[in-house]
Chain A
Amino acid sequence: MSLFPAGKITVFFVVILFITCDSKQPASTNEIQINFTNVTATAGLANFRHVTGAVGDKWFPESMGSGGGFIDYNGDGWSDILLVGGGTWPGKSVAVAPALFLYHNNQDGTFKNVTAAAGLDDLHTYGFGITVADYDNDDDQDFFFTTIWQNHLFRNDKGTFTNVSLGSGLEKDSFWSTTAIFFDADQDGWVDLYVGSYVDWSPENDIWCTLDGNTKNYCTPELYDGVPSRFYRNNGDGTFSDKTEQAGFLPSPGKMLGAAELDFNNDGWPDLAVASDTQRDLLYVNNGDGTFKEIGAVSGMAYDENGRARAGMGIDAGVVDKSGKETIFVGNFSKEMIGVFRHQSGNFFEDRAAISKIGRPSLMTLTFGLFLFDAELDGDLDLFTANGHVQIGIEDTQDGIYYREPSHLFLNDGDGHFTDIVPSISGPLDRPIVGRGAAYADYDKNGTLDILVTENGGPVHLFRNENNENNFLRVNVRPSSGNRNGLSTKLVGITKNKRMERRVKTGSSFMSHSETTVTFGLGSEEVLDSLYVYWPNNSMEMFHNIHSGKEINITEGQGKLAVQ
């Protein structure tokens, strides 16, 4: 006789409950007016393949992947695409992979490989990230390229590039560099450069790591010493000076993978949030003179709620709710939530990963690329993340974790609560990939923001945003005297129901570059009631009743809008 006569029946119900309760509860598809199409092939990007150089040694850098992004290299107002090809190891591979690939936007939805014509085909290295800005203030887009060895500065000369690293002051260091970011730290009108460094790895000090005790696998960064990141002041003459220590960036734990510019304390000076892998994340507050003080740990944004350092990868910051305060988002490892830290007051931040509803859904994925953008043009910043694990075959040792992972697209309800809609809309974002870099731009000039994602050892993906229901306004800024890209300009757009705060910036995400044009999603509104432009020099201009559906240029002090 059973000790629990009714037990089996009860258990039956319990088991049924387990099964029925597991269904995902995404937002209703009826409510979602957004979709993406993978246009990689039709756009002419299908031949690109990132190369890891892996030949079986399982060298650490091979697991990292690289970035890419958008650059208007020829100044025609259309976003072109610059991709990092990865690299091969000297003496290890027969085929030597090109380091960079540049694709010209044909303005019809397609791209053409112009790497050679632009003078970028003769560089062979092991590359990681790019950041784009007009460092010499000559009205074109230059870029900086990070590698595992020497980094490279490319000057744009009317659509062709010259490697001006030698003599620039940026060529001296030879560390494993990752994400770099241009920003005008001291607001002297010349963009400075922060270059993230990772770990002290070389083939000579490679460590044998394993998941199963038998075969070598890729190491994680705990085993290597971190290399502090560096800060270079732009001298205004085409050269840079290493001011890492003088500017307050030392000491630092290194292992940096992402950097985002923000102004959390609204003092008009750019601050810097840094994502670090297995080290505390960092927050550099600008002292108001281009030097910085690191306050990450005390501010509350450096760790998770248990004081644990996580594997910080991509990072971005923006105002995502009605508080008007900036929130920092940091992509982390699987079994770690995406970090979400909203500025509270003073130098303090509150952890909102769980409350924002981003934390739990992000636990099963390893996030690299991460950025805020208005996906459905409703006026709220949403969060896109590109995901993919670093260990091939991780599914064999960790149940529920996969090497290839779908992306997340967290839609914002307008008050900082998010829902991942990827499971609902399926399509290309739901397709598992080994995601790494991620960037956005309106490459087809239809007002919606499209997504570019790179894969480690794989193709690039261009996802066209098919949302064309809502209205938009796109804005380019140009300070009269400051840096030509208007970096650190704050724009506030006001409609009947929304206040939208945006910043012009480089960096963010993971080793990638998004367009610097600011997009305001207006929903069904046809007019932006007011636009406030806070220039880097702290002057402010305002504009009213701007009709939607166009891209405008604002030059500081002219008091008028130029339609592009």
Chain B
Amino acid sequence: MRFLITLLLFLYCCSGNEKQVVDVPYNNLRTNRLLLQGSDALKQHNFMQALALADSADKYAVQKADIHFFKGRVYSELGRFSEAEQAYKNALKAVPGYRGALNNLGNNAYRQQNFSQAIDYYIQEVTQNQAPIPLRALGRAFVELGKTDSARTCFQKAIDLDMNYAAAYFNLAQLEEDEGNFKQALQHAGRAYGIEPDNLEYRYVYSTLLVQMDRGSEAIYNLRKIVEKWPWHHGAHYNLGRALIQAGQKTDGENYIEQAERVRAVQAKIDHLENTVRALPDDPYSYAALAFALRKVGRYNDAMHSYKVALYLDPGNFDIWNNVANLYLLQGDTITALSTYNYIVDRNPALTDIWLNMGVVYALSNQKEKARSAWKQVLAYQSENAAALNYLKKINGN
């Protein structure tokens, strides 16, 4: 039973935080366990592992819709839309009306900027499942096509179904902002922010509305917090600058606006790399380049996602594996970093840079013997490696 509850929770996430009640025979515990493991792997962006677990679950599944649906999610995360579409359609074939599948097909279409098609899917989902999530998604698609009246109706309807649906308030706020109705926008943004006070995006939009209403002094505290947590966010820098200027702190404000320009230049490069991966979805190096840029600005989770997509496309690329391991280190996950280094040298022990890195990590975590061993491995392949010799000299000296 615990598995069933957990599975239901897992499916809750499948179509975007929506409760899933699948009116079909339940799968056995083994299938459910494998799917849950797959879900964990997906959270870690371990796409190959997630798909492998789904394949394993497939062997034991009483009904296959869950498996197809899960695979659809994995492919969606990978940006492989045609595979995802097929998987969701398989889910619908196995269980007509499988809840969330049409919604996710809509999401796929939305991400490919096929908004009309997305609307078709969302309406089908809403017809079967009058739930806030597909209604909100439908609203967003209407926004993209400039059909703001329909969008507003959808967001409002989603809120009618879930009074605490922060995302729908947030979208309403954006809609009203674009229409120039700042007071209403502020109300909606305030509601979203009130429901999810830790959500920086809601906090940001709430703050920018204050700036647009010439109430910058009220936004300074929040914008400072956002800049602290999102140092890569040029909009936060820019609006903090504007807010400070409005509050009479001209010099400080101008400094933040200058800083915003520097941050924006970096973001422009990331935007370009994101466009590149959209245009070249099978190119691992495009994803790796995007990951590198994201890592540089401190967006580690996004960087990891991109590296893992790159690895899905090129699983034997040890340069990318090495970058992944380094990123784990930056994230403070020494154990996974070391296991990743080990994974690499198990497959190619001649990669001396990896041994070097391993040695450093071991040394930093005070595992001197392991550090020595790693650096000696370097010397086994390159007896004159200056870095390894230097490290060994230092560690032996200590």
A115-123, A149-157, A394-402, A459-467 - interface stretch: A394-402
- In the bound complex, residues from chain A placing their C-beta under 8 Å from that of B261 are 280, 297
| Contact among A21, A360, A397 for B150, CB-based, below 8 A | A21
User: Does residue B208 face the partner (Cβ distance < 8 Å to A)?
Assistant: yes
- In the bound complex, residues from chain A placing their C-beta under 8 Å from that of B149 are 21-22, 25
State the CA gap A211–B182 with chains docked (Å): 36
User: Is B153 a contact partner of A17 (Cβ separation < 8 A)?
Assistant: yes
- In the bound complex, residues from chain B placing their C-beta under 8 Å from that of A211 are 279
User: Is B179 a contact partner of A15 (Cβ separation < 8 A)?
Assistant: no
| Cβ distance A52 to chain B, nearest Cβ, rounded Å | 23
| Cβ distance A449 to chain B, nearest Cβ, rounded Å | 27
1/0 per residue, CB under 8 A from A, across B292-308: the answer is 00000000000000000
User: Is A303 a contact partner of B238 (Cβ separation < 8 A)?
Assistant: yes
User: Is B146 a contact partner of A354 (Cβ separation < 8 A)?
Assistant: no
User: Is B212 a contact partner of A397 (Cβ separation < 8 A)?
Assistant: no
User: Is A298 a contact partner of B245 (Cβ separation < 8 A)?
Assistant: yes
User: Does residue B369 face the partner (Cβ distance < 8 Å to A)?
Assistant: no
User: Does residue A278 face the partner (Cβ distance < 8 Å to B)?
Assistant: yes
- In the bound complex, residues from chain B placing their C-beta under 8 Å from that of A96 are none
User: Does residue B320 face the partner (Cβ distance < 8 Å to A)?
Assistant: no
User: Is B271 a contact partner of A222 (Cβ separation < 8 A)?
Assistant: yes
**Contacts A17-B153, A278-B268, A297-B261 known; A305 to B208 CB distance under 8 Å?**
yes
| Contact among A14, A298, A308, A355 for B126, CB-based, below 8 A | A14
User: Is A363 a contact partner of B146 (Cβ separation < 8 A)?
Assistant: yes
| Contact among B152, B154, B178, B254 for A298, CB-based, below 8 A | B254
State the CA gap A307–B260 with chains docked (Å): 7
User: Does residue B281 face the partner (Cβ distance < 8 Å to A)?
Assistant: yes
User: Is B126 a contact partner of A11 (Cβ separation < 8 A)?
Assistant: yes
- In the bound complex, residues from chain A placing their C-beta under 8 Å from that of B180 are 352-357, 359-360
User: Is A21 a contact partner of B153 (Cβ separation < 8 A)?
Assistant: yes
State the CA gap A177–B191 with chains docked (Å): 49
| Contact among A7, A308, A400 for B145, CB-based, below 8 A | A400
B86-94, B110-118, B333-341, B346-354 - interface stretch: B110-118
| Contact among A18, A25, A337 for B154, CB-based, below 8 A | A18
| Contact among A307, A351, A353 for B234, CB-based, below 8 A | A307
Number of A residues with CB within 8 Å of any CB on chain B: 49
User: Is B179 a contact partner of A354 (Cβ separation < 8 A)?
Assistant: yes
- In the bound complex, residues from chain A placing their C-beta under 8 Å from that of B234 are 306-308
1/0 per residue, CB under 8 A from A, across B114-134: the answer is 111100000100110110000
1/0 per residue, CB under 8 A from A, across B172-211: the answer is 0000011110100000000000000000000000001001
**Contacts A10-B130, A297-B258 known; A399 to B145 CB distance under 8 Å?**
yes
State the CA gap A464–B279 with chains docked (Å): 43
Which single residue of chain A is at the shortest CB-CB distance from B205? A306
User: Is B239 a contact partner of A306 (Cβ separation < 8 A)?
Assistant: yes
| Cβ distance B381 to chain A, nearest Cβ, rounded Å | 39
| Cβ distance B348 to chain A, nearest Cβ, rounded Å | 31
User: Is A354 a contact partner of B126 (Cβ separation < 8 A)?
Assistant: no
State the CA gap A360–B245 with chains docked (Å): 27
- In the bound complex, residues from chain A placing their C-beta under 8 Å from that of B62 are none
**Contacts A21-B150, A21-B153, A222-B272 known; A307 to B239 CB distance under 8 Å?**
yes
State the CA gap A10–B126 with chains docked (Å): 10
List which B121-167 residues lie within 8 A (CB) of chain A.
Answer: 123, 126-127, 129-130, 135, 138, 142, 144-150, 152-154, 157
- In the bound complex, residues from chain A placing their C-beta under 8 Å from that of B235 are 306-308
User: Does residue B257 face the partner (Cβ distance < 8 Å to A)?
Assistant: yes
- In the bound complex, residues from chain B placing their C-beta under 8 Å from that of A360 are 146, 148, 178-180
State the CA gap A397–B113 with chains docked (Å): 7
State the CA gap A357–B147 with chains docked (Å): 15
- In the bound complex, residues from chain A placing their C-beta under 8 Å from that of B148 are 360
User: Does residue A331 face the partner (Cβ distance < 8 Å to B)?
Assistant: no
User: Does residue A48 face the partner (Cβ distance < 8 Å to B)?
Assistant: no
- In the bound complex, residues from chain B placing their C-beta under 8 Å from that of A4 are 129-130
User: Does residue A98 face the partner (Cβ distance < 8 Å to B)?
Assistant: no
User: Is B214 a contact partner of A350 (Cβ separation < 8 A)?
Assistant: yes
State the CA gap A359–B148 with chains docked (Å): 13
User: Is A18 a contact partner of B257 (Cβ separation < 8 A)?
Assistant: no
1/0 per residue, CB under 8 A from B, across A404-425: the answer is 0000000000000000000000
1/0 per residue, CB under 8 A from B, across A197-214: the answer is 000000000000011110
| Cβ distance B160 to chain A, nearest Cβ, rounded Å | 10
User: Is B264 a contact partner of A308 (Cβ separation < 8 A)?
Assistant: yes
User: Is B208 a contact partner of A399 (Cβ separation < 8 A)?
Assistant: no
User: Does residue B24 face the partner (Cβ distance < 8 Å to A)?
Assistant: no
- In the bound complex, residues from chain B placing their C-beta under 8 Å from that of A356 are 180
- In the bound complex, residues from chain B placing their C-beta under 8 Å from that of A303 are 238, 264
State the CA gap A25–B180 with chains docked (Å): 16
User: Does residue B4 face the partner (Cβ distance < 8 Å to A)?
Assistant: no
Which single residue of chain A is at the shortest CB-CB distance from B143? A363
User: Is A399 a contact partner of B254 (Cβ separation < 8 A)?
Assistant: no
| Cβ distance B183 to chain A, nearest Cβ, rounded Å | 11
User: Is A14 a contact partner of B264 (Cβ separation < 8 A)?
Assistant: no
User: Does residue A348 face the partner (Cβ distance < 8 Å to B)?
Assistant: yes
User: Does residue B45 face the partner (Cβ distance < 8 Å to A)?
Assistant: no
Q: Which 10 A-B pairs have the closest CB atoms?
A: A307-B238, A354-B180, A21-B149, A306-B235, A355-B180, A399-B115, A400-B145, A307-B235, A18-B150, A7-B130
Query: Which B residues are within 8 Å of any A CB, using their own CB?
Result: 21, 23, 113-117, 123, 126-127, 129-130, 135, 138, 142, 144-150, 152-154, 157, 177-180, 182, 208, 211-212, 214, 234-235, 237-239, 242, 245, 253-254, 257-258, 260-261, 264, 268, 271-272, 279-282
| Given A213-B279, A297-B260, A308-B234: 19 more A-B contacts, CB < 8 Å | A3-B21, A3-B23, A7-B130, A11-B127, A18-B123, A21-B149, A21-B150, A21-B152, A21-B153, A298-B245, A309-B268, A350-B214, A354-B177, A360-B146, A360-B179, A360-B180, A399-B113, A399-B114, A399-B116
